[in-house]
């Protein structure tokens, strides 16, 4: 394996992705603990002088941040050694998004702000947010401009989006150009529409098209399951880096493989079940440090099936692991696993997490009737909307 891309992604003096790999923000997943696991895994394969990738927080609602919602303030807590600190914002009102960015800058809450225009979840799109918003291109541009203006050059602002709402309502090219004109430092494109959700195959040709259209860096997202997939995406699209989401679910060590792939060393991490069990314990332990032991172990439960995907662990142990509520109980159950069982090659290159297509996109009434309106949908900016 040889490196196809060695240039780091440089957004500012403080915000550099080297190698150019980004952990995608995932609600309920990319919290303090999971980001730390992924960062630690990548660090094992970095070359001297490399800083590592960007590891982005889960989606933070702008209104909730401005209103200092206690849960939101906990979600934006970064570990002392996290650098750079990347925070993703969701919002539909340019004024509220701007206020959130101003707060981030004034209180030094993050080094980098990413704007969410890619979420396909109905509770977000039905309010005009996420993947629905770029259709209203003037509103979209107003939000990006507001964020960039309030960042005042102190933190780079980036945009993550999808190809469009559906095949008849594509938005990525115009949105990319408007984001560039508004001052975005880079654009990340997931090669699916909101309607496609997480089903089928991502269309990387749209990423290549956007690379050709923009002068700022374009990052590619969608169907990166292994390190080789990242190299192939760069070769096929010319993108400046990759954004990785579902491929690392239950596999934080994927970031070691990604660093090795970009650096051309050919290292591939294939942990046996004992090593996976140790990673599971550490994940739950880190969640416990963040949330308290019981809440941390309960939060960890969702990860059990992803970690054990393809292994021969019995159904009874899997069920008990998914019901555990203390580290002692978790460790007892992990001790019942066959530590010597090799990593199952059958799962390599296979989708993880959600793999279904949507059943229609929930949108505000009349949303598709016009692209020119800058009106913020009623109820779109409540304190607890979004993530």
Q: Are strands 169-170 and 157-162 parallel, antiparallel or unpaired?
A: unpaired
Calculate the alpha carbon distances from 100 to 24, 25, 60, 86, 88 in Å. Answer: 20, 18, 10, 14, 11
Phi, psi torsion values for 9, nearest 5 degrees: -90, 115
Contact by Cβ (8 Å): 187, 179: yes
Place of tokens 């002088």: 49
Calculate the alpha carbon distances from 283 to 101, 114, 216, 339 in Å. Answer: 30, 25, 36, 18
Element (H, E) at 157: strand 157-162
For residues 148 and 318, give the distance between their C-alpha atoms in angstroms, rounded to a whole number: 47
Element (H, E) at 17: strand 16-17
Q: ω before 19 within 30° of 0 (cis)?
A: yes
Element (H, E) at 207: helix 204-213
Calculate the alpha carbon distances from 189 to 32, 131, 208, 271, 294 in Å. Answer: 24, 11, 10, 31, 37
Q: Which of 119, 239, 248, 374 is catalytic?
A: 119
Is residue 239 flagged as an active site residue?
A: no
Q: Are strands 9-10 and 16-17 parallel, antiparallel or unpaired?
A: antiparallel
Candidates 306, 303, 307; CA nearest to 287 is 303
Provide the annotated active-site residues: 119
């Amino acid at each position: 394996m040889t490196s196809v891309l060695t240039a780091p992604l440089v957004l500012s003096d403080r915000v550099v992705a080297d190698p150019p790999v980004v952990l995608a923000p995932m609600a309920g997943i990319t919290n303090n603990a999971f980001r730390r696991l992924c960062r630690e895994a990548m660090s094992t394969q970095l070359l001297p002088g490399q800083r590592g990738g960007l590891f982005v927080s889960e989606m933070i609602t702008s209104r909730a941040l401005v209103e200092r919602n206690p849960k939101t303030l906990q979600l934006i807590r970064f570990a002392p050694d996290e650098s750079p600190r990347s925070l993703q914002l969701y919002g539909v009102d340019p004024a509220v998004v701007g206020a959130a960015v101003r707060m981030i800058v004034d209180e030094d809450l993050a080094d980098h702000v990413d704007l969410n225009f890619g979420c396909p979840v109905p509770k977000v799109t039905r309010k005009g947010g996420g993947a629905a918003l770029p259709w209203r291109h003037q509103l979209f541009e107003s939000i990006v401009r507001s964020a960039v203006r309030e960042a005042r050059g102190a933190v780079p602002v980036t945009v993550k989006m999808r190809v469009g709402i559906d095949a008849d309502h594509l938005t990525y090219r115009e949105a990319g150009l408007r984001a560039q004109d508004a001052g975005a430092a880079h654009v990340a494109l997931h090669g699916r529409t909101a309607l496609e959700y997480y089903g089928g195959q991502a269309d990387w040709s749209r990423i290549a098209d956007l690379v050709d259209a923009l002068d700022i860096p374009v990052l590619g997202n969608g169907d990166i399951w292994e390190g080789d997939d990242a190299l192939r995406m760069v070769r096929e699209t010319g993108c400046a880096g990759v954004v990785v989401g579902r491929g690392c679910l239950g596999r934080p060590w994927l970031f070691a493989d990604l660093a090795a792939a970009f650096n051309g060393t050919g290292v591939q991490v294939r942990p046996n079940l004992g090593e996976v069990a140790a990673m599971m314990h550490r994940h739950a332990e880190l969640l416990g440090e963040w949330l308290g032991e019981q809440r941390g172990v309960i939060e960890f439960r969702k990860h059990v099936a992803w970690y054990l995907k393809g292994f021969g662990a019995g159904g009874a142990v899997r069920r008990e692991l998914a019901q555990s509520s203390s580290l002692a109980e978790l460790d007892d159950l992990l001790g019942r696993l066959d530590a010597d069982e090799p990593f199952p090659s059958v799962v390599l290159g296979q989708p993880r997490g959600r793999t279904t297509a949507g059943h229609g996109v929930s949108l505000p009434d009349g949303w598709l009737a016009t692209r020119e309106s800058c009106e913020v949908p009623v109820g779109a900016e409540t304190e607890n909307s979004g993530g």
